[in-house]
Amino acid sequence: MNRFFKLQENQTTIKTEINAGITTFLTMVYIIFVNPVILGNAGVPSGQVFMATIISALVGTLLMALLANYPIAIAPGMGLNAYFVTVVTKYGLSYSIVFGAVFIAGVIFLLLSFTSLREKLIEAIPNSLKFGITSGIGLFIAFLGLQFSGIIVDGGEAGLLTLGDLQAPNTLLSIAGLFITLILMARNVKGALFYGIVMTAIIAFFTGQLTFNGVVSMPPAPVFFEMDIAGVFTEGLYAVVFAFLLVTIFDTTGTLVGVAEQAGFMKDGKLPKAKSALMADAIATTVGSTFGSSPSTAYVESTSGVAAGGRTGLTSLVIAGLFFLSMFFSPFIQAISGVSAITAPVLIIVGCFMMEGLSRVDWKSFDEAFPSFIIILTMPLTSSIATGIAMGFITYPLLKVVSGKGKQVSWLLYVFGILFAIQLVFFPAH
């Protein structure tokens, strides 16, 4: 164990790594409650999403442990799960076609992990676009949380949106959950999001909003290969595949670099073993789609385990082991997932985490600030990550050219800008 995970070299111990693994697991286990709620809005059965989420997290995090020896967890990302639902519901598609799109994005990501285009792409995209995308997704999922909780509702005569009925039972439950979780977060309690869900569920139980049919059982049977790859082409979902691909690559890379900086792994501004880490994510996304999950990404919550001293893949191995054990708690987890007001506070708070990157945008330069701003604004307003990305990629090269800085922009961005402009104007459906 010591030799495989290089514990001594990384100045850590088995006990510290186990502690770190438990810490990260507690901060991210909410995804197995929340993902069935979100993908349930696209009609995917809850038991299927529950298993697919665990399998994605298990495969990705285990590969991260074994291939990269990093204390970084992988699981289906928030934001892309919501975008998945938008694509299914807004355009009336079958979810199996959209799983096909996730599969294709995963395979392209896997192929890209072997080439240098991956680095080129990552280097060509400026901070304002990268962090604009992550933050836009943050606002998007927080907005969903506000809707699920009933705090924000359709405005009708009052305008597009308005404040909901704060005395409605499910809204009251969410508000109580939000306050409890915020208090736990502010007091730096390990696993605040998880304990927040549990405490909100207890309130829901005693107020009759939640019923249980058991706690432990054998895992539900996973559903395998319920996807329609041909449908991706007949429906022309190219922009959707592209959005899944770009967001997964940027999000994972940004998160890997952030966590690696915190853990002291960066060497001369480069991330060693980036290839193995990205491959772990690409494989998790591809495998996850075959079982019925939206794309996976490296989790920002891994920072909590690193803060607890985790430095090696042993931390990730512990996280993967805990995800495996959670398979046996499906009745408990599915009952909680059935009441979206319980998990809504998590969406609002995770949205806040994802805004952090905005500090890296150069707000004093208008040609950097505006593309970031338009992404953040349009993602929640159009409920489309792809549209938000398109707005940013169109305005960035445009503003650079008119301000005489066109030469600073990579040719890749001009190509993307033109492609996105054509797509938005002529193929706006997706």
Ligand X SMILES: Nc1nc2[nH]cnc2c(=O)[nH]1
* Calpha distance 85→94 (Å, rounded): 10
Shortest spacing between CB 232 and ligand X, in angstroms:
22
Give the span between the Cα atoms of 368 and 357, in whole angstroms: 14
Taking the least distance from each CB to ligand X, the nearer of 118 and 400 is 118
Shortest Cβ distance from residue 359 to ligand X (Å)? 16
Give 232 or 349: the residue with its C-beta nearer to ligand X: 349
DSSP string, 357-399: GGGGS-TTSHHHHHHHHHHHHHHHHHT-HHHHHHHHHHHHHHH
Residue 255: CB minimum distance to ligand X, A: 4
Residue entry with tokens 């979810």: 95
Q: How far is the CB of 403 from ligand X (least distance, A)?
A: 31
* CA 274 – CA 44 distance, rounded (Å): 33
Scanning 29-94, the segments in alpha helix (DSSP H) are: 31-40, 46-63, 80-90
- Cβ distance to ligand X smaller for residue 24 or 378: 24
Q: What is the DSSP string of 193-213?
A: HHHHHHHHHHHHHHTTS---S
365 contact partners, CB below 8 Å, separation of at least 6: none
Residue the block writes with tokens 């990268």: 130
Q: Which is nearer to ligand X, 77 or 388 (CB)?
A: 77
Q: Name which of 226 and 356 has its Cβ closer to ligand X.
A: 356
- Minimal distance in Å, beta carbon 279 to ligand X? 17
Q: Which residue is nearest to ligand X (CB)?
A: 77
Q: 21 or 417, CB closer to ligand X?
A: 21
CB 149 within 8 A of CB 345: yes
* 271, two tokens: 């991330």
Question: What is d(CA 139, CA 211) in angstroms, rounded to the nearest whole number?
Answer: 31
- 8 A C-beta contact, residue 83 and residue 241: no
Binding site for ligand X (CB under 6 A): 77-79, 251, 255, 297-301, 350
Q: How far is the CB of 89 from ligand X (least distance, A)?
A: 20
